[in-house]
Chain A
Amino acid sequence: MKAFSQLLDRLTYTPARNAKLMLMRNYFLATPDPDRGFALAALTDGLPIAFPLRRVLSEIGESRFDPELFRMSRDDVGDTAETVALIWPVAQAEGDAPRLCDIVADLSRAGRGGHAAILTQWLDRLDATGRWALLKFLSGAPRVGVSARLAKQAVADAFGKNVDDIEELWHGLEPPYAALFDWLEQRTERPSLAATPIFRPLMLAHALEENDWQAMNLDDVAAEWKWDGIRIQVSAKGGTTRLFSRTGDDIGQSFPELVDHFKFDAVLDGELLVVRDGEVAPFSELQQRLNRKTLTRAMLTKYPVHVRFYDALEIDGEDLRALPFTARRERLEAWHREHGPAHSDLSEVLGFASKEDLKASWEATREQGIEGLMLKRKASPYLAGRPKGHWYKWKRAALTADCVLLYAQKGAGKRSSFHSDYTFGAWTEKDGQKLLVPVGKAYSGFTDAELAEIDRFVRQNTVERFGPVRAVTPKLVLEIAFDAIQESKRHKSGIAMRFPRVSRIRWDKPAEEADTLETLKALITSAS
């Protein structure tokens, strides 16, 4: 528990990715089984036990602390678990701090009635950091700034493996992952994946650069539309179906109608979309279905989801990844003709007479409400990660608008001394007065030298400070590039930009000449 609490403690304060990896790597190397496995579970998918932390804490609290002092302390600290950890009376109880494996074992043995007594006993044996870490451990999601992917990366690094190897195995494993660590430490063979549907690391595309385009031979590539949904991998085997996000998170819970219909033995790559009468709906409609805790029947009807497949990694137990794209595509088409489940179709392979023809189609994408084109080398196998020279995404050209810098905030890590996060606005009129309303935020698109210049501007033109945020005199115009504008009820301006970034700093342009909110609203993607 001591090593684990130190790990969590340091992770919460460490912003840099590499430093986090180092801390986790050291932990996974130094900690014995099965404790490190339970720690890995806590940092990734959560513990294999359900613990009603809130209820147990309030039960304990009634007998342990003065409710008035607790309330005042909770207001000061801002987090209940942390308050309990800090306010807990120092008991200097007998007995060692529990190991993570004891915690899991004892809790699964204890009935509902025993939870409070066990937890009290442990809290008495731990120091403040240990108590905090224990409560975070039991809360299910420790929120220490580590993604599941980063934790797996640390395990891979610690034992000299590729993280994709771990991702592949992941969904066939259970905490405390004894089979995984046995393999990593070369005590056993790689765990078998025969029985369960698992995640296969995805092949990702590079943005198409001018020289890629110049060197490209049309006959060597297959072109498809770039669909504006989310990447999904459908992995089905032995009657079980899983839907994985790009990063290997199982998102099947949000899409029960797909899980129900996709009964086959294959691993397929595609795009998750909302499709109504054959028409793809804007991304904002798909967002309505993501990260929902509860799904109503009405949601399922209102936002019908659909998968547009474009690749096959495995069919009927046969691994197709070493085959060239064209061969995999043939197998996919044949399979879909035979099995083609409802809520699915194939992404069309587009034919072009010439590169000029292809380019003309790309130029028309914005008008047609399409995000762009995908160009895939016909001879390429399916390669995990983002290999160079195989798949290209060719996004439609960005839109731009001139906006006025309103607020700036300091960044994190290497940018912590620079104001690098910008809120910008556009002109509107209210009661005959011209005023600026915030229309978006941008954090990127500028060079280090430009960042230093904007930072200087912010410091010299600050009119007010709200904690880490500075309001500046509205006089610096930023040309903002963005992919699209959507209607938004959550923003005061009524619009939301997708992927905004700073494309140019217009030191030359007077703020009065920046764009108006009305101009931006005219760019809203129609919701059809």
Chain B
Amino acid sequence: MAFSPPFESWLMPGPSGLHCVPGDFFIDPSGPVPRAVITHGHSDHARAGHGAVLATADTLAIMRLRLGALGQAQALGYGEALKVKDVTVTLVPAGHILGSAQVVIDYNGQRAVISGDYKRHADPTCEPFELVPCDLFVTEATFGLPVYRHEPDMAEVQKLLASLRDFPERTHQIGVYGLGKCQRLIKLIRQAGYERPIWLHGALRAMSDYYVSRGIDLGEVPNAMEAPGKLAGEIVLSPPSALGDRWSRRFADPLAGFASGWMRIRGRVRRRGVELPLIISDHCDWPELIRTVTETGAREVWVTHGREEALVHELGKRQITARALRLVGREDDAE
């Protein structure tokens, strides 16, 4: 067997994120760098100020909508191999949000996969996760504890519809993150057969319009601010920060919901003042994390952020070398 240098000799975790030395670029850096590869458009991964950016076309478009002009940008389609200096880079669907990608780097006969954020649950608004066998798998661990097991998402949507039947006099205001979760939830509600308008907070408008422009039909999604009445018995989506705040006073006895993997834990539901928790996540739950890591066949696993301690412990039991990177700047709770 040929000698394999340690992965750290060419893929270096540092304060700005993962640095691919022979390719001379950073992956999802936390601050401005000359050359960045971006996995997806969430703000804790896609930041402004890089000299050059390589990402999927959707991620680049999302970054432009959120951050403005990007400087030098290069789009790479899923599955297209690109030679970058001494390495080959391929972007592969991560199943997290529209445009999200795993970064596959081949160097000297070794393959590293930096998965960014990913999930295995089906999602009607993005390409499904694609498994890439590799030597080093870099994973997140947002829900890296065995208590996190996401429910089937349709069952959660049915909870929402049941609540609308029980409380037809109340506005159902559901907190969602604006990119990904919002559009996925709308799509799921539509798949459940709900055809009434779903009203949107202004902060959710730009990304939703982008999804629609990419051919994802969301049905009727008017602005909540332009609603004729108090929207009793209707669904309103807003950023989580607008739950139980001044913005919600315009509605009929608003019932606060929140679509997030964190809603698994009752204490978190209570602390947020949420009445209708919907366990819908764009991240892997514990069984999916373990399954994915195992299926990649990686002999070494790095954990970027989240509850890495438990995952490292569990992988150790399975004879897989695991290391916690504790990258700075990742918003653990933004889900």
Contact = CB atoms under 8 A, between A and B. Distances in A.
B267 interface: yes
Nearest to A22: B166
Interface string A61-81: 000011011001100111100
Given A13-B276, A14-B275, A410-B244, A73 B147 contact: yes
Interface residues of A, number: 29
Interface in A51-110: 65-66, 68-69, 72-73, 76-79, 82-83, 86-87, 90
Contact of B145 (A12, A69, A468): A69
A128 B149 contact: yes
Contacts of A417: 244-246, 248-249
Contacts of A79: 266-267
Interface in B299-335: 307, 309-310, 313-314, 317
A86 B264 contact: yes
Given A83-B147, A416-B244, A13 B269 contact: yes
Contact of A87 (B147, B253, B270, B307): B147
Interface in A1-57: 12-15, 19, 22
Contacts of A68: 310, 313
Interface residues of B, number: 33
Given A68-B313, A72-B310, A79-B266, A416 B147 contact: no
A160 interface: no
Interface string A323-355: 000000000000000000000000000000000
Contacts of B253: 414
B274 interface: yes
Contacts of A299: none
Interface in A383-423: 410, 412, 414, 416-417
A432 interface: no
Contacts of A467: 271
B75 interface: no
Contacts of A69: 145-146, 310, 313-314
A87 B275 CA distance: 23
A366 B222 CA distance: 62
A12 B264 CA distance: 13
B248 to A, nearest CB: 6
A73 B310 CA distance: 9
Contacts of B265: 76-78, 82, 86
A88 to B, nearest CB: 9
Contacts of A78: 265, 267
B167 A19 contact: yes
User: For the complex, would chain B's binding face be called helix, strand, loop or mixed by DSSP majority?
Assistant: mixed
Contact of B273 (A73, A82, A83, A412): A412
B128 interface: no
Nearest to A76: B145
Contacts of A77: 147, 265, 267
B267 A13 contact: no
B233 interface: no
Chain A CB count within 10 A is highest, among B264, B276, B310, B317, for: B310
Contacts of B148: 86
B276 A76 contact: no
Contacts of B256: 416
A69 B264 CA distance: 17
Contacts of B271: 467-468
A86 B147 contact: yes
Contact of B266 (A14, A82, A412): A82
B249 to A, nearest CB: 5
Contacts of A22: 166
A79 B269 CA distance: 13
Contacts of A76: 145, 147, 265, 307
Nearest to B263: A13
Interface in B136-182: 145-149, 151, 166-167
Contacts of B274: 13
B29 interface: no
B93 interface: no
B266 A15 contact: no
A82 B267 CA distance: 10
A72 B145 contact: yes
Contacts of B240: none
A72 B309 contact: yes
B95 interface: no
Nearest to B277: A13
A410 B270 CA distance: 13
Contacts of B166: 22
A68 B317 CA distance: 12
Contact of A73 (B146, B245, B248): B146
18 contacts: A15-B275, A65-B146, A66-B313, A72-B307, A72-B309, A76-B265, A76-B307, A77-B147, A78-B265, A78-B267, A83-B147, A86-B149, A87-B147, A128-B149, A414-B253, A416-B256, A417-B248, A468-B273
Interface of B: 145-149, 151, 166-167, 244-246, 248-249, 253, 256, 264-267, 269-271, 273-277, 307, 309-310, 313-314, 317
Given A69-B145, A410-B244, A417-B246, 7 more contacts: A12-B266, A66-B314, A66-B317, A68-B313, A69-B310, A69-B313, A73-B146
Interface of A: 12-15, 19, 22, 65-66, 68-69, 72-73, 76-79, 82-83, 86-87, 90, 128, 410, 412, 414, 416-417, 467-468
The 9 closest A-B pairs by CB, nearest first: A86-B147, A416-B244, A73-B147, A78-B267, A87-B146, A72-B310, A73-B145, A87-B147, A13-B275
